[in-house]
């Protein structure tokens, strides 16, 4: 099932343009290819605290993007989270610095992505490995400072 979703994500991404950037969409690319996710944005303390808790499922094409005001060392746990998740820890430039695969539902062990992290993308557990998403992959979303972004939304043709 994840393999079919991976194929659909990779095919559905297509060439992206500046007009494609929107708060509810996120693009990801790397040596493995590219993908587009529909995302919920968690950019307030309240939204970040709730995250994906109490949800029974998450589609392979969906995720949640946690964005912080300044880079730091965010740690996550899986309290009240019912589904396994992959977490991609992202720098201010939009580069994936750490991938934590298959976080265990209900586990209270802190998941640390390292220093200098501005955002964390949570996606369906197992999807990062299935797609071969790895450190160095690039993420594009309007929440990032486009003057720093490795893959900016405001590119011109």
DSSP per-residue codes, 25-38: EEEEEETTEEEEEE
On average, the pLDDT of the chain sits at 89
The domain tally of the chain equals 1
Residue 155 lies in a domain: no
Structural domain boundaries, residue 134? 2-140
Residue 147 lies in a domain: no
Beta strands in 6-91 (DSSP E): 25-30, 33-42, 62-72, 75-76, 85-90
Residue labelled with tokens 């919920």: 40
Tell me the backbone φ, ψ of residue 4, rounded to 5 degrees.
-65, -40
Residue 132 lies in a domain: yes
Residue 41 lies in a domain: yes
Residue 145 lies in a domain: no
DSSP single-letter state for residue 150: S
Residue 46 lies in a domain: yes
Residue 128 lies in a domain: yes
Q: What is the pLDDT of residues 1-58, one digit of tens each?
A: 454 444 445 444 444 444 579 999 999 999 999 999 999 999 888 988 898 898 999 9
Residue 43 lies in a domain: yes
């Amino acid at each position: 099932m994840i393999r079919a979703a991976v194929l659909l994500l990779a095919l559905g991404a297509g060439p992206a343009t500046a007009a494609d950037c929107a708060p509810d969409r996120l693009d990801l690319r790397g040596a493995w290819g590219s993908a587009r996710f529909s995302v919920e944005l968690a950019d307030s303390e309240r939204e970040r605290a709730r995250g994906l808790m109490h949800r029974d499922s998450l589609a392979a094409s969906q995720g949640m993007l946690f964005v912080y005001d300044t880079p730091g060392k965010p740690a996550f746990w899986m309290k009240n989270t019912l589904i396994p998740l992959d977490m991609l820890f992202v720098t201010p430039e939009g580069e994936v610095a750490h991938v934590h695969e298959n976080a265990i539902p209900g586990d209270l062990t802190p998941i640390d992505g390292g220093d200098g992290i501005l955002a964390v993308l949570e996606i369906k557990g197992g999807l990062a490995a299935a797609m071969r998403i790895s450190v160095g992959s690039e993420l594009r979303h309007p929440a990032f400072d486009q003057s720093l972004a490795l893959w900016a939304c405001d590119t011109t043709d």
